[in-house]
Every structure is written in C-alpha cells, then in structure tokens.
C-alpha cells in the first residue's frame, strides 16, 4: 500500500486509495457501455461482434492503464464513439471500402499520432488554444454529455418534426432515469463520497428487484476468439491516395477531440497550472496514440480519452490510480461481460447528466460582452452538442475565432498555433466525407 501511495503521490494530491478505487469504479461503470455498443456499431461494417468486444476491452485496458502508470492522470481511454460510426456508416457503407482497409487507416493514423506527440506537435497545439475556447470546450462537452444522457435515458427521444421530443414519462425506464438523476444529485449535494457510483448501483439493484431487468443467466464466461479481426488490416488499400481524406479526417478529429477532452477534464479536476495548461500534456496524448495503434492491430477503431472520465474525477479521482482501477475492471470484463452488459442505460445515463450539469457551470467564466470572443465560444458550445461531435464543435470554433479576431482588428490575439489549427480545421471541413 505504501508503494501505491508513494508512486501515485496520493498524499500530495489530497487523495486516498479508497477514494481512488471508488473513482475508478465510477468511471468504469459510466463508460462500460462502450463494451456493448462499439461491437454493435461496427457490426454494420461487417466486423464480427464477439471478437470486436474483446478488442474493445483490450484497447481500453492498454490505453487506460498507460494513462494511469505513465501519465498518472485519472483519465480513461477506449475506442471512440463517433469514430466507430464514421468508419461503419461513412467509410464502409457510403464510400464502399472494406472494413479491413478502414482498420488499416486506423493503424496508420495511430502511427502518425505517435510521431505528432513525440515531436511535441500535439502539445504545442494544445497550448495555443485561448482560454475562452478551452472553457467553451468544457461547457460544450457538458451540454453534449447532458444530451447523451437525456437520449440514453429516454427522457428525450428522436422524432422527425421536430427532430427531438420529450419521451414517455409513463415508461418505468424513464422514471428510473429521473430517479437516478435525483439520487445522484442529492448525494453529491450532501457531499457523499462515491455518490455517482452509488447512484448507478442502486438504480441497477432496483431494476433487478422490481423485475424491470433480468438477472444475467451467468456471471462469468470465457472471452470469445479474437482471431477473425486480429491483424486483418489492409495497409496497401489504406495507403491509396483516394484514402488520404479518410486518414486526415481520423487524425484531425482525434487531435482536436483529445485536446478538447483533456482540457475539459483538467478544468473539472483542477489539474491546469497558472497558465491554463495541463503539465506534461504529451503523456496522456501519447497513451491515446499508442491505444489507437493497438486498436488498428487488434481490429477496432480509434481510441481516445473519454469525457465520461469526469464522473470518476467528480467522485474524487485525482491520480493515475483511478485510471489503473478502471483498466483492471476493463480487463475483468473479458470474463464478466454477462454482468456488465446487464447494467441498464437508465442506471448510468443520469451520471452523464449530473456531470454535464457540473461542467456547464463554467459558463459563468466566459465574457459575452466581447463578440470577438463570444461568437467563437457560442459556435463551439452549440456545434459540440447539436452536431453530436466534439471535434466538429472545436474545429468550427477555431475557424470562427480567427475570422472574428481579424474582423475586430485583434490579430495579435491569434497565436501561430491557432493559425495552424484554423487551417487544419478548414481543410477538414473541405475534405470531410459527408
């Protein structure tokens, strides 16, 4: 125990092993849906579900464990939601490429990201973003998380005209989600440690007891065979010039998504220094890049830092021990997938809403009197939530920031890094395979 406390500097950060374990469990239970959802999304591209589940777990374990022991941050890494849909629906279904070629692009992107991180390019870009846009990312991601939670809980449902509407409050699942939100918020208000985790577990328990959810037939099972997707990438196909736009899209989206997520999580956890920068930001970025490369080898999509990690941070997680606990839980799911898959969406969706509430509170730090700052901030926040894409929100905000600073004759506010981000963002919008 002494070694663990010393290695993760728990005393320095005002934390404890118990708190970090609770935080790690909270993060895991909030993010565990990816184990089930990622294979189902990629199945649309013809990638076998069972092996993909194994690949998802292994990538999450590698990335999150690296973040814990190398970067020593309480951030969880797993295959990205959004990128899996891009690969399945756009690259394979619409553009007509094979899933093996798409995975080849993931592998190439991972290698590019490793190089960009080691050379300091990604870290330099992150330090170039103005404080207003960093705060906007936090607020926008908070609204984004809230929206995800509302949809997953059934409180908001899809429609045609209007595109969304209120759900059916006579459905027990919706009522359970509302109860979960109230329970978590009240526990947090009372400053109960592990409030979010307690909320998830209590709602899951009520679901089992009430008969709303069936207990899993078995609690333990052997992991499926991963060989149908392992090392099946097509590098030759991915290196064709016609595929360059796909690779560039993957790389740019990963860069901006990671920057935005790291900044937002760091603000929530108060990890930023006096300059508004995350010390040694390259370390979690390198963990993410290595995880993406591993994902390409194993046969799944781009990995990145999950904003859902904010639930563990809000539960008290301050060090890499939180991430290590989360990674171990991911590894255990190779054998405990029946139990994990039994946790209903209405149990973890409220956690996303609670964290969204807390993150959106930072909107009070934004200055809306200066339109050269307010308009880019507004675009960032709105696009993040309503495009259902963090990267789109950030790139849109970068472009608008430059336009309005030039219009206001405040070109000195635009750093060289912001010019680079703006140009990259513009290229992305031009070549994005809509």
In whole angstroms, what is the distance from residue 11 CA to residue 335 CA?
34
Distances (CA, A) of 26 to 16, 21, 86, 168, 325: 15, 9, 28, 28, 10
On the question of a cis peptide bond just before residue 98, with omega within 30 degrees of 0, the verdict is no
How confident is the model over 325-361, as pLDDT tens digits?
999 999 998 887 777 667 788 888 888 888 788 778 8
Q: Locate tokens 């405040």: which residue?
A: 410
Nearest by Cα to 294 from 57, 43, 120, 69 = 57
* Alpha-carbon span 381 to 139, nearest angstrom: 7
Strand partners, 157: 165
Write down the pLDDT at residue 319: 93
Kindly tell me the burial class for residue 173, based on how many C-beta atoms sit within 10 Å of its own C-beta (0-12, 13-18, 19 or more): buried
- For β-strands 156-158 and 164-166, DSSP reports them as antiparallel
* pLDDT value of residue 432: 66
Q: What is the pLDDT of residues 217-275, one digit of tens each?
A: 777 778 888 999 999 988 888 888 777 778 887 887 788 778 878 888 888 888 888 87
Tokens 């097509």: give the residue.
Answer: 234
Spell out the domain ranges in the chain. 2-431
Assign residue 118 a region: left if phi > 0, alpha if psi is -120 to 50, beta otherwise? alpha
Residue written as tokens 């500097």? 9
Helices (H), 190-342: 195-209, 235-238, 244-269, 282-298, 310-314, 320-340
**Which pLDDT belongs to residue 434?**
55
> Which residues 6+ apart lie within 8 Å of 213 measured at CB?
204, 207, 342, 344
The pLDDT, as a whole number, for residue 351 is: 81
Residue with tokens 């990259």: 424
Q: Which of 170, 188, 178 is nearest to 153 (CA)?
A: 178
HEC profile for 354-405? HHHHHHHHHHHHCCCCCHHHHHHHHHHHHHHHHCCCHHHHHHHHHHHHHHHH
Rounded to the nearest 10 degrees, what angle do helices 244-269 and 131-153 cross at?
100
Cα(214)–Cα(10) distance, integer angstroms = 40
What is the C-alpha radius of gyration for the chain, rounded to an integer number of angstroms? 21
Query: What is the predicted pLDDT for the residue at 112?
Result: 93
**C-alpha–C-alpha distance, residues 379 and 391, integer Å:** 12
- One DSSP character per residue, 164-181 reads EEE--TTSHHHHHHHHHH
The β-bridge partners of 305 are 77
Q: Are 328 and 334 in contact (CB under 8 A)?
A: no
Residue spans of the chain under pLDDT 50: none
Q: How confident is the model at residue 114, as a pLDDT? A: 95
């Amino acid at each position: 125990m002494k070694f663990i406390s010393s290695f993760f500097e728990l005393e320095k950060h005002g934390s404890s092993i118990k708190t970090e374990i609770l935080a790690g469990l909270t993060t895991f239970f909030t993010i565990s849906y990816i184990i089930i959802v990622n294979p189902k999304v990629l199945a649309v591209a013809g990638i076998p579900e069972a092996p993909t589940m194994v690949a998802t777990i292994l990538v999450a374990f590698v990335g999150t464990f690296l973040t814990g022991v190398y970067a020593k941050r309480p951030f969880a890494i797993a295959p990205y939601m959004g990128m899996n849909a891009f690969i399945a629906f756009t690259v394979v279904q619409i553009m007509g490429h094979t899933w093996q070629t798409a995975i080849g692009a993931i592998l190439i992107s991972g290698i590019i990201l490793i190089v960009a991180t080691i050379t300091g390019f990604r870290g330099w870009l992150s330090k170039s973003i103005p404080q207003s846009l960093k705060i906007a990312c936090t607020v926008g991601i908070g609204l984004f998380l809230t929206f995800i939670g509302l949809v997953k809980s059934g409180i908001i449902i899809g429609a045609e005209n209007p595109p969304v509407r209120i759900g059916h409050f006579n459905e027990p699942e919706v009522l359970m989600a509302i109860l979960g939100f109230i329970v978590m918020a009240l526990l947090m208000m009372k400053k109960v440690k592990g409030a979010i985790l307690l909320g998830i577990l209590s709602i899951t328990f009520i679901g089992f007891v009430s008969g709303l959810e069936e207990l899993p037939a078995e609690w333990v099972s052997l992991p499926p065979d991963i060989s149908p997707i392992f090392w099946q990438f097509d590098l030759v196909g991915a290196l064709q010039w016609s595929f360059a736009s796909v690779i560039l899209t993957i790389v740019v989206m990963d860069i901006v998504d990671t920057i935005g997520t790291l900044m937002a999580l760091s603000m929530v956890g108060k990890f930023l220094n006096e300059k508004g920068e995350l010390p040694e930001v390259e370390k979690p970025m390198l963990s993410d890049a290595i995880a993406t490369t591993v994902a390409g080898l194993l046969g799944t999509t781009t990995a990145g830092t999950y904003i859902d990690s904010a639930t563990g941070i809000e539960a008290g997680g301050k060090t890499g021990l939180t991430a290590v606990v989360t990674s171990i839980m991911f590894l255990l799911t190779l054998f405990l997938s029946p139990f994990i898959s039994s946790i209903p969406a209405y149990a973890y969706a409220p956690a996303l809403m609670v964290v969204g509430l807390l993150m959106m509170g930072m909107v009070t730090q934004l200055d809306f009197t200066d339109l050269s700052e307010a308009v880019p901030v507004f675009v960032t926040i709105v696009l993040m939530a309503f495009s259902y894409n963090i990267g789109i929100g950030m790139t849109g905000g970068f472009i608008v920031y430059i336009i309005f600073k030039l219009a206001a004759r405040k070109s000195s506010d635009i750093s060289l890094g912001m010019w680079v981000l703006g140009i990259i963002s513009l290229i992305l919008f031009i070549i994005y395979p809509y």
